Amino acid sequence: MSTVTRSYRIRAYPNGAQRRLLERWFGASRWLWNTTLGIRSEAYRVCGLQLTGDDLSRWLTQWKRTAGHEWLAAVPATCLTQCLRDQDAAFRNFFARRARYPKFKRKSAAASLRFQDAGTAWARGVVSLPKLGSLKLAESLPKVERPGLVTLSRDAAGHYHVSFCAEVETSLLRITHRVVGVDVGLTHLATLSTGEKIPNPKRYHARLKYLRQQQRCLARRQKGSRRREKQRLRVARAHARVRQERQYALHALTTRLVREFDLIFIEDLNVKAMARGLHARAIHDVAFSEVRRQLTYKCSWYGKILETVDRWYPSSKRCSKCRYTLDELRLDQRQWTCPRCGTCHDRDINAARNLPAEGLRQLAGRDDRDLRVDAGDACPEEDLLVQVLAEEARSGHRNRACLEQARFS
Ligand SMILES: [Zn+2]
Residue 361 alpha carbon to ligand 1 centre in Å: 19
Residue 203 alpha carbon to ligand 1 centre in Å: 37
Query: Residue 390 belongs to what H/E stretch?
Result: helix 380-395
Q: Where are the beta strands (DSSP E) in 21-135?
A: 111-115, 128-129, 133-134
State the alpha helices, DSSP H only, in 156-277: 204-220, 226-260
Residue 344 alpha carbon to ligand 1 centre in Å: 9
Identify the pLDDT of residue 270: 53
Averaged pLDDT, 218-232: 91
Identify the pLDDT of residue 70: 83
Identify the pLDDT of residue 381: 65
- Model confidence at 346: pLDDT above 70: yes
Residue 353 alpha carbon to ligand 1 centre in Å: 13
Contact 161, 7 (CB under 8 A): no
Integer angstrom CA distances of residue 101 from 28, 36, 38, 87: 22, 14, 12, 11
Identify the pLDDT of residue 121: 87
Residue 314 alpha carbon to ligand 1 centre in Å: 14
Identify the pLDDT of residue 340: 87
Residue 325 alpha carbon to ligand 1 centre in Å: 8
Averaged pLDDT, 92-96: 91
Q: Which of 4, 81, 5, 96 has the alpha carbon at shortest distance from 36?
A: 81
Tell me how crowded residue 278 is: count the other CB atoms within 10 A of its CB.
6
Averaged pLDDT, 62-90: 89
- Model confidence at 392: pLDDT above 80: no
Residue 117 a catalytic site member: no
What is the distance, to the nearest Å, from the Cα of residue 43 to the centroid of all Cα atoms in its chain? 36
- Cα(225)–Cα(229) distance, integer angstroms: 7
Residue 348 alpha carbon to ligand 1 centre in Å: 15
Residue 185 alpha carbon to ligand 1 centre in Å: 23
Averaged pLDDT, 221-225: 89
- Model confidence at 182: pLDDT above 70: yes
% of residues, the chain, pLDDT over 90: 30
Identify the pLDDT of residue 175: 84
Identify the pLDDT of residue 377: 43
Residue 183 a catalytic site member: yes
Residue 362 alpha carbon to ligand 1 centre in Å: 22
Query: Residue 336 belongs to what H/E stretch?
Result: strand 335-337
pLDDT, tens only, 299-340: 888 888 888 887 677 778 888 888 888 888 777 788 888 888
- Give the active site residue among 183, 307, 358, 382: 183
Identify the pLDDT of residue 380: 56
Mean pLDDT of the chain: 83
- Give the active site residue among 262, 348, 358, 382: 348
| Sheet of 111-115, strand order | 111-115, 150-154, 160-170, 2-13, 136-137
pLDDT, tens only, 353-363: 888 888 888 77
Q: Which of 409, 338, 390 has the alpha carbon at shortest distance from 180?
A: 390
Q: Which of 144, 151, 81, 80 has the alpha carbon at shortest distance from 115?
A: 151
Identify the pLDDT of residue 404: 47
Identify the pLDDT of residue 276: 55
- Cα(301)–Cα(258) distance, integer angstroms: 10
More confidently predicted of 367 and 156: 156
- Cα(59)–Cα(352) distance, integer angstroms: 58
Query: Residue 71 belongs to what H/E stretch?
Result: helix 71-74
What's 284-335 look like in SS3? HHHHHHHHHHHHHHHHHHHCCEEEEECCCCCCCCECCCCCCECCCCCCCCCE
Ion ligand 1, residue ranges at CB < 5 A? 319, 321-322, 324, 338, 340-341
% of residues, the chain, pLDDT over 70: 86
Identify the pLDDT of residue 91: 92
Contact 12, 177 (CB under 8 A): no
- Cα(379)–Cα(381) distance, integer angstroms: 5
- Model confidence at 373: pLDDT above 50: no
Instruction: State which of 176-185, 323-332, 395-404 shows the largest mean pLDDT.
Output: 176-185
Q: Which of 65, 164, 64 has the alpha carbon at shortest distance from 113?
A: 164
Q: Lowest-confidence range among 130-144, 200-214, 229-243, 273-287? A: 273-287
- Model confidence at 400: pLDDT above 60: no
Q: Bridge partners of 5?
A: 167
- Give the active site residue among 262, 267, 307, 358: 267
What secondary structure letter does DSSP report for 173? Answer: P
- Model confidence at 269: pLDDT above 70: no
Contact 1, 170 (CB under 8 A): yes
Residue 319 alpha carbon to ligand 1 centre in Å: 5
Instruction: State which of 20-34, 47-61, 123-137, 168-182 shows the largest mean pLDDT.
Output: 20-34
Residue 272 alpha carbon to ligand 1 centre in Å: 21
Residue 55 a catalytic site member: no
- Cα(145)–Cα(147) distance, integer angstroms: 6
pTM: 0.76
Residue 317 alpha carbon to ligand 1 centre in Å: 10
Identify the pLDDT of residue 88: 92
Residue 342 alpha carbon to ligand 1 centre in Å: 6
More confidently predicted of 374 and 249: 249
- Model confidence at 408: pLDDT above 50: no
Contact 343, 323 (CB under 8 A): no
More confidently predicted of 187 and 56: 56
